Structure 1
Amino acid sequence: MAHQVTDQPFWNPKTELMAREDLAQLQLAKLRRVLAWAKARSPHYRRTLAAVDPDRIRTRDDLARIPFLTREEWMASQEAHPPFGELPVTGPDRAIRLHTTSGTSGRTPLRALDSRKDWSWSAEMWCYALWGAGVRPHDVGYVAFGYGSFIGFWGLHNGLEKIGALTVPGGAQTTAQRVRQIHDFGATVVASTPTYALRLAAEAEELGIDLVNGPVRRVILSGEPAGSIPETKALIERKWGAQAFDTAGMTEVSTIVMFTPAEQPGGCHVIEDHLLEEVIDPATGREIGYGERGERVCTSFGRSTTPLIRYRTADLVVRVPHTATTSGRTWDLYQGGIIGRVDDMKLVRGTNVYPGAVEAIVRGFDGVEEFQIRISRPGDRDEIELLLEPSTTVDDTAWALLSERVGAELADAHEGLRFRVRRAATGELPRFELKARRLTDLRPAV
């Protein structure tokens, strides 16, 4: 990528402003190329694509000829052919980086290999998002992330460097140490999960560091759907005195696939010149139209060592056309970013409960430090409990009003389902640096 003009709002105007017809043809050409590459080199794809002729994939309707890839298949491949399975096109001798999924779901982490070319591509994807959020070479970027095998913000770190921003890796430190570095180094951009952004803000208050009037102007969020929950985003912006921008990706693709543009806070652009995204009905596997909630399916054109073709992500999204934004970008958006997971939904006494919907309500109230959702079955019926840890400024009178109002809003939003709202002691609930786990289902497995 050539050096960017700093007042240019697009990282790659050629493709970000490309006509939809030309973009569709570009995607199909790249799809044929990645199909041929994977079929010729990957043992897994050699089998699954045996009946697929890449040259015959000429329209979007032809995608139905290509089988889906599921996490379960990938896991089974790793177990049968440890440690990396049969998806990679080469062994570790040709790779330079190994990453795993976070493991926060309790499932065995997936392992993925990347080459130097793959890793350069990952940084490029982050540049789209960072530049779109207004990050420029004169910025100081602080990455509040415990660097490890989880892919996390590795690509963002490289993207900041590629843009030319001074980049500070914030690994292997306490939260207090990170807050002090953000302050001492004059960071103008901070990257973290939404949950950890709130934890950093709380720590800054304890230390007497004024974030609102400090130099941070942009907070780049990833790792949790909360980055696009309006109430959580607004809370982060109030605590930091900065704009918050959501991004979403996954280890399986090695980078982000969408980002919030500066002019469209309610949606995330799909990086459509490098990824082909579909939204399907989770039950039937058929593609659905704009405005309908469904499961996103991802095909990557840039990751070559571990190809990703029609991967069922289990992410819930609502796709809307590019005309929903005023930037001029021709890429479609996911309204509200990733709004949850197919497997996140819990059925409690006949009512669907989504953690993201609960968070949207809880974050709308001041004075809440942390929360947890617990579902149990002590007798013959399900019970759901919300533990709220209020800030130390919330006295007994304020707590009574807070718990009553939260409980009423939860019931209104969940068809009358009553949540037991209980006060947690200061510091009782866990804090998270990476992906938060705020729902525990204690019911016996069926």
Structure 2
Amino acid sequence: MNMIESQYWNPKTETLPREQLRALQFVKLQNMVAWAEARSPYYRRSFAEAGFSIDQLRTWDDYQRIPFLTRDQWMHSQNSVPPYGELPVVGHEGAIRIHTTSGTSGRTPLRALDSRKDWFWSAEMWCYALWGQGVRSSDIAYMAFGYGSFIGFWGLHNGLEKMGALVVPGGAQSTTQRVKQIVDFDCTVVATTPTYAFRMAQEARALGIDLPASKVRTLVLSGEPAGMIPETKALIEAEWGAKAYDTAGMTEISTIFMFEPKDQPGGCHIIEDHLYEQVVDSDTLEELPYGERGERVTTSFGRSAIPLIKYRTGDAVVKVPHTSTTNGRTFDLYEGGILGRVDDMKLVRGTNMYPRAVEGIVRGYAVEEFQIRIEKVGIRDEIFLTVEPHVGIADHEWSAMEAQLGNELAEAHEGLRFIIQRAETDSLPRFELKAKRLQDLR
């Protein structure tokens, strides 16, 4: 393997000239649309209602003819034709595994079927990220993950095995047991959510374990936008004495769609030889140019059991061209990774509040955990920020922190006042998967 190849899992496609990459994407798009139209009851009906058929897909301009797919439409199909809906091209007999979304309280999770071919593809997608982050077959990787029906890091596990790395499954373990195993097995790679990386670091301190002195050198983060918040990432890296890299995936495609490579260019490369991704205005559905924030829309070329075509993800992103980096990849990037959800923004007394922006500020202080709560007090909306400071913060230190934090949050939000409250040590909830730090009780 030469020096150039050593940077990439798939040197040919990761460095393919853009014109050839677009041509490859279009052939794959035509194949996927034809597959869905012929085999999926949902797409056959959806295309017919939109007056579209595969015969009309001759140029990229024709992509606009394809109707969008939303999560609500998918869920409606699933509820109308339980348990899997009409999107799949196979029934359970043609699949080898079922996975669900992590779910929301009171909401039925999305159920997804995958074939053996789909799981091979899922592992391949993870290999792009792992190889680009410096993981090799000599590594020992710990999966700090519950291994339930939530899709989580299943594909990552498969990708590590495909690369020949030794995998330590961390399911059905307490946080204490996981931290001890990471050290006992001399793990060099740990896969986790950003929130749980903090949780394990807290546990290590309580156990007297020096994580920076351990063999861990790489943290593969996923599941939360916090993986690309500079302040959060810097704290995680300091706690572990290791480099942290962001990735993002979704149950709907069964795997990741972007990754942060080893040179950390301030964004994540989209795996464009396996996906076609647009950024659109959520209201007009018009495609946005590079550099503008909008909603991510994806078409997957690899998942065959459930084709995913022009799916509105609800992810807020900003796409920038591949020329923003010098690492040789011709894949475009999402600057800052996933910026949150398009519906995450909260309007409070006429001012926009983004949870990601709040976290970026809070993580600059000596804080173990925090919660945001929005309530209507009388006729006025109020934001309460409950903060659990590091153990040992004295009252006078807290008073100074509270004032400085309040001022910084107000400056970042057009003078909007945050009511800051101190929480007792270990009183705020800890999270293993995706953190839920925002409550809107209005």
Residues 104 and 197 of structure 1: is their aligned pair in 2 closer, same or farther, counting only changes over 3 Å?
farther
Residue 59 of structure 1 and its aligned partner are, at CA, apart by 2.9
For 1:362, the aligned partner's letter is V
CA contact (8 A) 1:17 1:328 kept: yes
Q: Secondary structure at the match of 1:421?
A: strand
> Is the 2:316–2:340 Cα contact (8 Å) retained in structure 1?
yes
Residue 212 of structure 1: SS of its match in structure 2?
helix
1:42 and 2:52 matched: no
| Distance (Å, rounded) in 1 between the aligned partners of 2:315 and 2:227 | 14
Post-superposition CA distance 1:47-79 (Å, at most 9, x none): 112232324323322211000000000010011
Sort the Cα spacing of 1:66 and 1:20 in 2 relative to 1 into closer, same or farther, 3 A.
Answer: same
Per the alignment, residue 399 of structure 1 pairs with 398
Deviation at 1:105, TM superposition (A): 6.1
After superposition, residues 51-200 of structure 1 pair within 5 angstroms as 51-104=51-104, 106-200=106-200
SS at match of 1:338: coil
- List aligned pairs for 1:10-409, cutoff 5 A: 10-50=8-48, 51-104=51-104, 106-365=106-365, 367-409=366-408
Unaligned regions of 5+ residues in structure 1, if any? none
CA offsets 1:230-250 (integer angstroms, 9 cap, x no match): 111111111111110000010
Residue 4 of structure 1 deviates from its aligned partner by: 10
SS at match of 2:256: strand
Name the SS of the counterpart of 2:87 in structure 1.
Answer: coil
Contact in 1 for aligned 2:372/2:439 (Cα 8 Å): yes
| Alpha-carbon distance in structure 2 between the residues aligned to 1:38 and 1:71 | 17
Alpha-carbon distance in 2 for matches of 1:59, 1:258:
26
Cα distance change on mapping 1:105 and 1:136 into 2, 3 Å:
farther
Matched residue SS, 1:377: strand
Q: More deviation in 110-119 or 59-68? A: 59-68
What is the alpha-carbon distance in structure 2 between the residues aligned to residue 4 and residue 278 of structure 1? Answer: 34
Give me the whole-angstrom Cα distance separating, in 1, the residues matched to 2:10 and 2:330: 12
Q: Distance in 2 between matches of 1:4 and 1:300?
A: 31
Q: Amino acid of the residue matched to residue 163 of structure 2?
A: I
Q: Which residue of 2 aligns with 1:416?
A: 415
Contact 1:32/1:55 (<8 A) preserved: no
Give the residue type in structure 2 aligned to 1:178: R
The farther-off stretch of 99-108 and 38-47 is 99-108
Question: Partners of 1:405 and 1:58 in 2: how far apart?
Answer: 58
Q: CA deviation at 1:149?
A: 0.4
Query: In structure 2, the residue corresponding to 1:8 is in which secondary structure?
Result: helix
Alignment deviations for residues 354-382 of structure 1 (CA, whole Å, 9 cap, x no partner): 111100000111x2000000000020010
Equivalents in 1 of 2:270, 2:141: separation in Å?
24
Judge conservation of contact 1:369–1:390 (CA < 8 Å) in 2. yes
Q: 1:322 Cα deviation (Å)?
A: 0.1
* Aligned-partner SS, 1:112: strand
**For 2:108 and 2:345, how far apart are their aligned partners in 1?**
21
- Secondary structure of the corresponding residue to residue 128 of structure 2: helix
Q: Which residue identity is paired with 1:12?
A: N
SS of aligned partner of 1:35: helix
2:399 aligned partner, one-letter code: A
Partners of 1:6 and 1:136 within 8 A in 2 = no
Identify if the C-alpha distance between structure 1 residues 104 and 204 changes in structure 2 by more than 3 Å, giving closer, same or farther. Answer: farther
Q: Distance in 1 between matches of 2:433 and 2:369?
A: 15
Q: Distance in 2 between matches of 1:91 and 1:325?
A: 43
How many residues in Structure 1 have an aligned counterpart in Structure 2? Answer: 440
Contact 2:274 2:301 in 1 (8 A): yes
Q: Percent identity?
A: 68
Unaligned runs of 5+ in 2: none
Matched, 1:425 2:432: no
Q: Give the alignment's Cα RMSD to 1 decimal.
A: 1.3
Determine if contact 2:253/2:308 at 8 Å carries over to the other structure.
yes
Give the 3-state SS of the residue equivalent to 2:377 in structure 1.
coil
The residue type paired with residue 91 of structure 1 is G
Structure 1 runs of 4+ with >6 Å offset: 3-7
Task: Kindly provide the CA deviation profile for residues 99-135 of structure 1, in whole angstroms up to 9, marking residues without a partner as x.
Answer: 0000146532100000000011000000000000000
Q: Distance in 1 between matches of 2:412 and 2:147?
A: 38
Q: Deviations over 1:80-115 (max 9, x none)?
A: 101100000011111001000001465321000000
- Cα distance in structure 2, aligned partners of 1:363 and 1:37: 47
| AA partner of residue 401 (structure 2) | L
